[in-house]
Structure 1
Amino acid sequence: MQKKVLGAAMAGHIVESFDFVIYGYSATILARNFFPGADPAVGILSTLAIYGIAFVVRPLGAAVFGSMGDRAGRRAALCTVVLIMAVSTAAIGILPTYGSLGIAAPVLLLLCRLAQGMSIGAEYTSAASYVMEQAPPQRRARWISAVGSATFIGSALAVFLLLGLQLSSSAAYESWTWRVPFLVGGVMALIGLYLRLRLEESRTFTALAERGETTTTPVRDSVRNWRVFLLLLAVFSLLAVVVQNFLGYLPTYLTVTAGLTPVTVLVASGIALVLCTGLSLLTGVLADRFGRKPVLVAGVVVAVLGSVPAYVIATGGSLVTTVLAEVLLVLPAALVGMTATVIAVELVPPRIRATSTALTYNLGYAVFGGTAPLVGALLTAQFGRLAPGTYLTVVAALALIVVIFALPETRHSSDDPHKEETWHAGHREGPDRGRVPQARG
């Protein structure tokens, strides 16, 4: 069962990260194809703005498809979002350019990105929720971290595909083969749909449905559970800044600001992403053994201490310095990403798990993740090369306070569908202090 569950859950998330990395790494060529060529800087900023706008609709997708997961089942939501993802991704690969369609070209690009944003709004957290409800309690973090590692697997696949296309013929890539990755992403999403159609519904949701304990108002119930909602929002906001600064803005920074060739950037990114995939799996093992919170704190500390040095090293101009810079940025991405997701799905009550985690995750990404590339570009232009690293440091330092003083340990939380999980961190004494206590729902 483990291979079947993890394979189907990871498939959609691999496609999600694949699509977003393809767009982020293709920002300069998309700018040339979908915007007027009079001012290249305006074209790049416009392309990054569309990258960010797709994040704005993610909370709407979270509300719609997260609610579907809590009302109709996790499987229904997982299948629906990956189907939308397949169509919208493949569509980008066949869009006419600005030269042939004029202003309608960037409008169609925007519509495709909005559809991607809607579908992705419930992809990752729905997959994590489903896996959490199927996993053995003592191995939850490992299973969920496998799903989280799909972020870096999909990103690495995207990087290596782009690298292969550029090495085979840079002229062809500039002309038309840049479309190939988007078409490949559409096919990958259809494979994910096939795998998910073969899944059974999760045990936890089945038990809730059989007893008539599913909610009809998951969005309202999620907001009413406001303490947990705000806590998860803070943690996911940090995650959004760390991950999207690395995946969304760093490629443009290294090419435009540091003056590296696209091939050097792709090679360095591929190495870093492979490393991060392994680190993500290791994070799950550590979180199951030592607890979620210590590993999360370690990740945030690395973000505080390593972000500015990473941007200092990134300006070195060689493959070695670029890899070192990216490693400093992927360490917190893996440590924070895996443990934040595990804590989120364990902390939220089962009957609103899909909605509450999707909303907080995507609100954080809409405000801080989607804007990370654009903010990074603006900060660099205004304050210099180290400004993005400083921004990361400040956000991580603020999040560290929240993590240390407000976040409970969730390793021993129960997933009994008869019970509601309520958050009283800091109000328990003794060996169970910091655990998520259980109260009759």
Structure 2
Amino acid sequence: MSDTLAAASVASRGHVWRAVVATSIGNALEWFDLVVYGFFAVVIAKLFFPAGNDAVSLLLTLGTFGVSFFMRPLGAIVIGAYADRAGRKAALTLSILLMMLGTAIIVVLPTYSQIGVAAPVILVLARLVQGFSAGGEFGSATAFLAEHVPHRRGFFASWQVASQGLTTVLAAVFGTVLTGTLSADQLAGWGWRIPFAFGLLLGPIAYYIRSNVDETPEFLAAKTTRSPLRDTFAGQKTRLAIAVGIVVLGTVATYLVLFMPTYGVKQLGLSPSVSFSAVVLTGLIQMVCSPLVGHWSDKIGRTGLMLTSAALLLVLIYPAFAWLVDQPSPAKLIAMQVAMGVLVTGYFAALPGLLSEIFPVATRTTGMSLAYNIAVTIFGGFGPFIIAWLIRTTGDKVAPSFYLMFAALVSIVALVAARRVLGFK
């Protein structure tokens, strides 16, 4: 072992949990603003896209949610390559600053009734900034966690998913409290801005913590490349394609959970507070169980766990939606969200560790960022829009299950390829 690697390893043992806290808090805040936008889609639709038709207005809002994902591959390229050249820490501080900028714009932005068409235009620009920032966050945060203790890569990388569970809990708690205590006029007038302001106020704390953590041992010891993007496309196209396929189910399932409050209100006629409360349980499961799944994946392998979860989602999701739609009730929605939370966590929590092993250190953040954000942009970002469109087109309230079944099939094929082509367990 070189002197550099030995020194870095000693330092990492003393600061690894500080790194976990720094990455998790910052990552949770990064995703918090994105999730909140989806949760308050119905309110935002009326304020910024008053199309005269509630369904069209909601589709426009969910489309705007998806538009920001067009920037994610660009963010993945720019921030991912920056992380492979300058370090994971530098990329993490840059991404949190950009997210704070996009959030600040949303917090103070006047509505359509106040400034006309400029309101939705500026909203889209703010969402594009947030999308660019989020594009570099997953790869940088995952590499930062996975590289501190390589022999426990799955456990530490899973905290990335646990922090997204924290995001879901925070956003859903805000949704539950605000929709349960404020009138419709109060929620539309100022209430919907509160969670965005919360994220903005906590942003500087996350920035400070990220600015004062150590770089990862593996990055310090590795030989860097000046062209990580070119190297990824030149010699790792198969790995990139397999990684994209693996991410598909994770992102579709995540954004289906994000869509559930809107689904519960618009399609099932349940109260917003009930819908948000169900999502709180999903977030808690993801937050608590992700490290357990990550630890288990270090012991027995990652692809077996993920294949089992994917197969169960494929088989069970249609009957679950049919059962829920037959006679909707708060108890049924909560039971379904709990079941989905367990299965999605079983898949998603093992995913960061697997992705970090697919790519070498020199191109790890670039490769992971590209794979994750290509899949998220195509399949996840427009997931709520596609689901709403499927329901409206087919007239079938069970339609969301079709999209998740498709995603499960794609990822099962990719996982099999990871085992047979790349030799992962």
1:313-324 equivalent positions in 2, closer than 5 A: 313-315=323-325, 316-324=327-335
Decide which of 156, 164, 168 is 2:169's aligned counterpart: 156
Once the two structures are superposed, what CA deviation does each residue of 1:58-84 show, in whole Å capped at 9, x if it has no partner?
Answer: 000000000100011111100000111
Q: Is the 1:24–1:251 Cα contact (8 Å) retained in structure 2?
A: no
Aligned letter for 2:164?
Answer: T
Q: 1:167/1:386 Cα in 2 relative to 1: closer, same or farther (>3 Å)?
A: closer
Question: Using the alignment, how far apart are the partners of 1:148 and 1:56 within structure 2?
Answer: 22
Counterpart position of 2:22: 8
Match of residue 147, structure 1, among 160, 166, 174: 160
Structure number with higher helix proportion:
2
Partner of 1:265: 275
Letter paired with 1:97? T
Match of 1:134 among 121, 139, 148: 148
Q: Does 1:63 align with 2:73?
A: no
| DSSP-derived class of the 1:325 partner | helix
* Residue 320 of structure 2 is aligned to residue 307 of structure 1: no
1:393 aligns with 2:405: yes
| Map of 1:430 onto structure 2 | none
- Among candidates 372, 375, 391, match of residue 380 of structure 1: 391
Q: TM-score, normalised by structure 2?
A: 0.92
Q: Which amino acid aligns with 1:310?
A: A
Contact 1:310 1:326 in 2 (8 A): no
Residue of structure 2 equivalent to 1:74:
88
Q: Secondary structure at the match of 1:259?
A: coil
Q: Is the 8 A contact 2:138 2:372 kept in 1?
A: no
**Deviations 1:297-345 (CA, angstroms, capped at 9, x unpaired):** 1121122122212322332322110012212322332122121211110
For 1:20-59, what aligned pairs fall within 5 Å after superposition? 20-59=34-73
- Where does residue 98 of structure 1 map in the other structure? 112
Does 1:276 pair with 2:273? no
Between 1:160-169 and 1:19-28, the stretch displaced more is 160-169
What is the aligned counterpart of 1:236 among 228, 244, 247?
247
1:402 to 406, 411, 414: 414
Q: Does 1:166 align with 2:166?
A: no
Q: Cα deviations across residues 216-264 of structure 1 (Å, max 9, x unaligned)?
A: 11111111211111100111122211111221x2221111111111011
> CA RMSD of the aligned region, Å?
1.6
Identity %: 31
State the match for 2:358 in structure 1.
347
List 4+ stretches of structure 1 deviating above 3 A: none
Name structure 2 gaps, 5 residues minimum: 1-14
After superposition, where does 1:174-185 map in structure 2 within 5 Å?
A: 174-185=188-199
| In structure 1, distance between residues paired with 2:334 and 2:162 | 19
Distance 2:240 2:358 in 1: 10
Higher relative contact order (CA 8 A, sep 6+): 2
Shift of the alpha carbon at 1:357?
0.4
The equivalent position to 1:191 in structure 2, one of 195, 202, 205, is 205
Q: Deviations over 1:269-316 (max 9, x none)?
A: 112221222221221121122111111111211221222123223323
Indicate yes or no: 2:370 matched with 1:366: no
How many residues are paired up?
407
Corresponding position: 1:295 with 2:308:
no
TM-score by length of 1: 0.89
**Alpha-carbon distance in structure 2 between the residues aligned to 1:348 and 1:408:** 15
Counterpart of 2:261 (choices 248, 251, 261) is: 251
The structural deviation recorded for 1:118 is: 0.2
Q: Distance in 1 between matches of 2:34 and 2:245?
A: 23
CA distance in 2, matches of 1:391, 1:348: 29
Matched with 1:431 is: none
Instruction: Verify the 8 A CA contact 1:18 1:157 in the aligned structure 2.
Output: yes
Q: Secondary structure at the match of 2:422?
A: coil
In structure 1, distance between residues paired with 2:289 and 2:47: 37
